[in-house]
Chain A
Amino acid sequence: MIRRRAFLGMAAGSVAGVLSPGIAAAQSGGQTKPYRIYRITYRGRTEVEDGFDDYLASNGIAVEFIERDAERGVAKLPGFVDEIREVKPDLVYTWGTPVTLGIAGRYDAPDKAKFITDIPIVFALVASPVAAGLVADRMVPNRNLTGAVHVVPTDTQLRAMHSYRPITKLGVLYTATEQNSVSIVQEVRDLQKPMNFSLIERQFRAGADGRPVADGIEELVAEIKHEGANWLYLLPDTFLGTQYNRVTPAAMAQSLPTFGAAELAIRQGGALVALISRYYSVGQLAASKAVKILRKETPVGEIPIETLKRFSLIINMPVAKKLDLYPPIDMLNYAEVLTG
């Protein structure tokens, strides 16, 4: 932690003054001035960025960040695109599917002028880059984009859920306009038969502009419960990720256990259990791609998009207590338990 703070201090305090160019050159093998990375987050700094920064620091890469935040929407993205064209950073970093789509655009977008197509982009936390249309092939992106996928495979998620408490009816609540969520729900549908459960689907209501809105979340959760669901699966839906503070209390009110697919779902959102990729590790994986690009070891279009395969099972004991739904005792041997 100390190391990271020190590094952040350097980055924030405008690298040139703090970091001796001589040392930087020695560390990075010929790097004479710090690289410039244009970083766009979706809802402020997360542990992903910590992992990203630490990885670069430990590999001796000196960087200067231009930090921008989308503030949980896509409205500011066109402005960022213009700024990137102007600043010409060495690399663009994007957080989440909406931001990445807004900056890089679909690989088959008819009008490429609205997007960045010449500067390398590394994304983190995009659940399904192919379904989102960012690339055609994960192994060979074949454009100015690569990154780290963080999602735990859906069947593994359901298996973990099942070993906590057998699934009979599974509820899902997602955004109909998010490509990624739609494809995950399809995977869940396909798993009904082999895993012997039934599915109850609800979608977030849409506002006038077609964007999902938080209205009626409580009613939707209650509907799911009334149809007999014994689990609510908080799938990696970008909009859902912003609504944990409404969804999980609603589920709690209905005594409906929730299973999270993202770290935030359990750390802040109050899900009962979660099988997650640690954000920190996702950041490290994304940074490893960034290093390859910055050092010009491999052309960006040839760096495969990788899925992180390191998961953690986390049980939220206060929630378990409230729901009176405790984990199987042997799960305590391999699950992390949040007590506070």
Chain B
Amino acid sequence: MIRLALRTVPVFAVIIGFAMFLAAYMNFSGVRSAYLDLIRSRMAMTADGIGNDISTASTLGIRLTEQTTLPGLLARQAATDPLTLSIDVASDDGTVVFSSDAKRVGIKDAAADDAGAFRQEEHVANDIGAAVGTVVVRLDRAAIDGAIDRLRFEILNGAIPAGIAAVAAGSLICLLLLTNLHRRARQSALGASDDDPIGRAAREMQRLQPESHA
């Protein structure tokens, strides 16, 4: 019986455990998306507002490079969100023209070399659809990743008690089912059961036997 338990219970423990892990991870993934969606919507709102101003100004013929009020606007917007690394406005060719972070002005902005930032880009076009530039809101990726890591830790760890309970309960019930089968099998194999058709058939044949010898 112990050998049986050792051979079967782990299979169910693994199945239930894996399912619980999968569920916990997918739960985490769902919350993570919801969390990032909210952050993105916040960034998009900021980028959108700035983009809107740039677009209106462009419609009045004010070139992006001439929009001298932008540094102030970017600085004000960057100050409203403590996670902001910088808010940049890049020209058509990707060069940062204005930024809330003076050090970024003049550099070529590329998402690929900006691993430390969680970025939201908003392409700005004027009233006739010509590209004007790009607003890039950059948040501190480390802070966001930290929050996500905490979330993962909490959800996955929170799943551990439930997972252990489920594994234990599932294994136990499976074991009971198997034990039950095991008991019936042993009884039947040994002919120990009250209702044993094999025994009955054997007895009936037994009854026929002496007659033949008589």
Binding site for B on A (CB under 8 A): 152-153, 156, 159-160, 163, 275, 278, 309-313, 330, 332-336
Contact = CB atoms under 8 A, between A and B. Distances in A.
Contact of A311 (B54, B56, B66): B66
B165 interface: no
Interface in B54-78: 54, 56-57, 59-63, 65-70, 73
27 contacts: A152-B61, A156-B60, A156-B61, A160-B60, A163-B60, A275-B60, A275-B61, A275-B62, A278-B66, A309-B61, A309-B63, A310-B62, A310-B63, A310-B66, A311-B61, A311-B66, A312-B62, A312-B66, A312-B68, A313-B62, A332-B69, A333-B73, A334-B53, A334-B62, A334-B69, A334-B73, A336-B69
Given A163-B60, A334-B54, A334-B73, 6 more contacts: A156-B61, A275-B62, A312-B68, A333-B73, A334-B57, A336-B69
A112 to B, nearest CB: 37
Contacts of B65: 310
Contacts of B56: 163, 330, 334
Interface of B: 50, 53-54, 56-57, 59-63, 65-70, 73
Contacts, number: 51
Q: Identify the interface centre among B60, B63, B70: most chain A CB within 10 Å of its CB.
A: B60
Nearest to A311: B61
A297 B54 CA distance: 37
Nearest to B77: A333
Contacts of A152: 61
A171 to B, nearest CB: 21
Interface of A is mostly: mixed
B73 A313 contact: no
Contacts of A163: 56, 60
Contacts of A336: 68-69
Given A333-B73, A334-B67, A335-B69, A153 B54 contact: no
Contacts of A160: 60
A51 to B, nearest CB: 14
A334 B60 CA distance: 10
Nearest to A277: B61
Contacts of B73: 333-334
A275 B69 CA distance: 15
Contacts of A310: 61-63, 65-66
Nearest to B68: A336
Contacts of A330: 53, 56
Given A330-B53, A334-B53, A311 B60 contact: yes
Contact of A333 (B61, B63, B69): B69
Nearest to A156: B61
Q: Identify the interface centre among A156, A311, A334, A335: most chain B CB within 10 Å of its CB.
A: A334
B60 A159 contact: yes
Nearest to A275: B60
A159 B60 CA distance: 7
B53 to A, nearest CB: 4
